[in-house]
Amino acid sequence: MTLTRQDCLALDAADPLAPLRAQFQLPEGVNYLDGNSLGVLPRSTGQRVAEVIQQEWGEGLIRSWNSAGWITLPQRVGDKVGRLVGAQPGELVVADSTSINLYKVLSAALSIARVNHPERKVILSERSNFPTDLYIAQSLAAQHGMTLKLTTAEQLAQDLSQDVAVLMLTHVNYRSGRMFDMASVTAQAHAVGTLTVWDLAHSAGAVPVDLNGAQADFAIGCGYKYLNGGPGAPAFVWAHARHADRFWQPLSGWMGHAHPFTFDTQYAPAAGISRYLCGTPAVLAMSALECGVDTLLAAEPLGGMAALRAKSLQLTDLFIAQVRERCAGHALPVATPPAHSERGSQVSLACPEHGYAVMQALIARGVIGDFRAGDGTAAEPDLLRFGFTPLYVRFVDVYDAVTALATVLDSGEWREARFNQKAAVT
C-alpha cells in the first residue's frame, strides 16, 4: 500500500514517542537525518553548561569538585549510559575518546589472551570496520608481535579460528548499517577461546544492547552520535566484571589510581572499571553529555530502548519502501540489510557515480544526511547515508526526504552540485 504525506502525518499524530522531539533544538527548515554522525542539541544543554560555567566554576571554583560532584562525573554519567547498553551500576565509565578507550581495552584483552593462550598471534576484525579502530589495532599488533587479520561479515565464522586472540568488531557497521548478533558472535568467539571487544559507536542509544546478557568481554562507544552529547563528546568504556580487575590498562593515569589524592609515586590501580580512567574529567563536556543521555532516558516511561527500536525500524522500513517506489528509475541499491535483526538505525544507499553531488544537492534542499566514499568496488561502493534517530525524526520527515531525493535525481540538479564540488577542489 502506497503511503501519502497525509498518512505519514497521521502516523506522527498517533506516535506515543512524538513528545520526545520537544527535547531538542531543531533548526527551522532542516530535515536532519545525520544523527548517526552528530546528534541534535538538547534544549537543556545550553542552560546546564551555563550553570556549570557561571555557578559551579564561576562561584564554586575548586570547591565544585566535591560540592557539585565533578569528581564522580565519569561514574555518574557512566551509570546512565550503562542503562542503555546492559551494564550494571559501577561497570561503565565515561572518559576520553573512543580511540583512546579502544587502546585501553584492546591492550587489556591482549594481556589476558597472552596469559590464557600465549601461542595466539591474531587480532581479527572486519575489513569495513571504522578506520580508527583498525589503526589502533595495527599499532597494538605491532607492539605485541601480532597480526591484524581482516575479514568480512560473511567470512567471519570461518576465520574465527583457534589462532585468534581477540575479535574486535563494531556492533553496527558505520557504512552499511549492518548489525551483528552480539550474543551469537560472542558465543562463537568464546567457543574457540577468543575474547571480544565491541565498538558501540553506532549502537548506544540507537538499538537495544545487552552487554552482560551477551557475555561480551569489553566494549567502548562514543557520546556524540545517538547519545546527543555534542561534537567531540567524551566516550565510554566497559569491561565485564570477570575481567575488570585482572590487568592494568596501559594509560595508568592518576584518576585511575586506587587513591588518587594520596599522590603516591607508585601506581596502584583502582578497583573495577574505575582503573580505566586516566586524566582529569572534562567537566563541561561530561555535563553536556549527561543532558544528551537524559534525552534517551526520558523514553523509559514510554517503553525505553525497545520502543525506540520499534519506531526506528518503522522509520527505516518506510524510507526503504519509499525509495524503492519513488526513486525506482534510478540506480540506488539499498546497502543496508533488509532483515530487522541485521539492521541498525540507518539506511545506506549505493550511489556509485555521483553520490557526493547528490548529497550536496539534498543538503542544499535542507535534507541533511552524509556521504561515505567507497573503494570503487561492488563490495564497497560510494554510499548515501541516512540516520534515523527515533527521538526526533518523524514519519513525515522520511516522506519529505524521499521527495527531495526523487526531485534531485529526476531534475538532475545534482549536476550543478558536482560542478561546484570540482570548482572548489580546483
CA distance 248 to 272: 10
Give the helix/strand (H/E) hosting 367: strand 367-368
In eight-state DSSP terms, residue 305 is H
Q: What is the DSSP string of 134-203?
A: HHHHHHHHHHTT-EEEEE-TTTHHHH--TTEEEEEEESB-TTT-BB--HHHHHHHHHHTT-EEEEE-TTT
| 121 noted as active-site residue | no
Structural contact between residues 24 and 40, judged by C-beta atoms closer than 8 angstroms? yes
Pick the more confident residue, 421 or 223. 223
In the predicted model, is pLDDT for residue 419 greater than 60? no
In the predicted model, is pLDDT for residue 411 greater than 60? yes
Q: Is 243 marked within a binding site?
A: no
CA distance 80 to 83: 5
Q: Is 89 marked within a binding site?
A: no
Give the model's confidence band at 421: pLDDT under 50 very low, under 70 low, under 90 confident, else very high: very low
In the predicted model, is pLDDT for residue 300 greater than 70? yes
CA distance 211 to 244: 14
408 contacts: CB under 8 Å, gap ≥ 6:
358, 361, 362, 365, 414
| 130 noted as active-site residue | yes
Choosing from 24, 130, 174, 218, the catalytic residue is 130
| 210 noted as active-site residue | no
In the predicted model, is pLDDT for residue 423 greater than 60? no
pLDDT confidence of residue 424: 37
Q: Is 199 marked within a binding site?
A: yes
Cell of 356: 557526493
pLDDT confidence of residue 417: 74
Choosing from 21, 178, 225, 275, the catalytic residue is 225
pLDDT confidence of residue 374: 85
In the predicted model, is pLDDT for residue 247 greater than 60? yes
Q: Is 131 marked within a binding site?
A: yes
| CATH number given to 5-32+304-425 | 3.90.1150.10
Q: Is 202 marked within a binding site?
A: yes
Q: Is 338 marked within a binding site?
A: no
Choosing from 180, 218, 224, 392, the catalytic residue is 224
Q: Is 224 marked within a binding site?
A: yes
Q: CATH class for domain 50-297?
A: alpha beta
Average pLDDT estimate for 255-274: 96
pLDDT confidence of residue 426: 25
Q: What is the pLDDT of residues 177-219, one digit of tens each?
A: 999 999 999 999 999 999 999 999 999 999 999 999 999 999 9
Give the model's confidence band at 1: pLDDT under 50 very low, under 70 low, under 90 confident, else very high: low
Structural contact between residues 320 and 338, judged by C-beta atoms closer than 8 angstroms? yes
Give the model's confidence band at 35: pLDDT under 50 very low, under 70 low, under 90 confident, else very high: very high
Q: Is 337 marked within a binding site?
A: no
Q: What is the pLDDT of residues 338-379, one digit of tens each?
A: 999 999 999 999 997 789 999 999 999 999 999 999 877 767
CA distance 120 to 102: 20
405 contacts: CB under 8 Å, gap ≥ 6:
323, 327, 358, 362, 367
232 contacts: CB under 8 Å, gap ≥ 6:
97, 224, 285
CA distance 319 to 21: 19
Q: What is the pLDDT of residues 84-103, one digit of tens each?
A: 999 999 999 999 999 999 99
pLDDT confidence of residue 381: 87
Choosing from 120, 175, 275, 385, the catalytic residue is 385
| 263 noted as active-site residue | no
> The dihedral of CA 397, 403, 407, 408: what is its sign?
positive
**Nearest alpha carbon to residue 316 among 200, 196, 207:** 207
Q: Is 130 marked within a binding site?
A: yes
| 103 noted as active-site residue | no
Give the model's confidence band at 380: pLDDT under 50 very low, under 70 low, under 90 confident, else very high: confident
314 contacts: CB under 8 Å, gap ≥ 6:
11, 395
Q: What is the pLDDT of residues 122-173, one digit of tens each?
A: 999 999 999 999 999 999 999 999 999 999 999 999 999 999 999 999 999 9
Q: Is 70 marked within a binding site?
A: no
Choosing from 79, 96, 199, 397, the catalytic residue is 199
In the predicted model, is pLDDT for residue 39 greater than 90? yes
Q: How many CB atoms lie within 10 A of CB 375?
A: 10
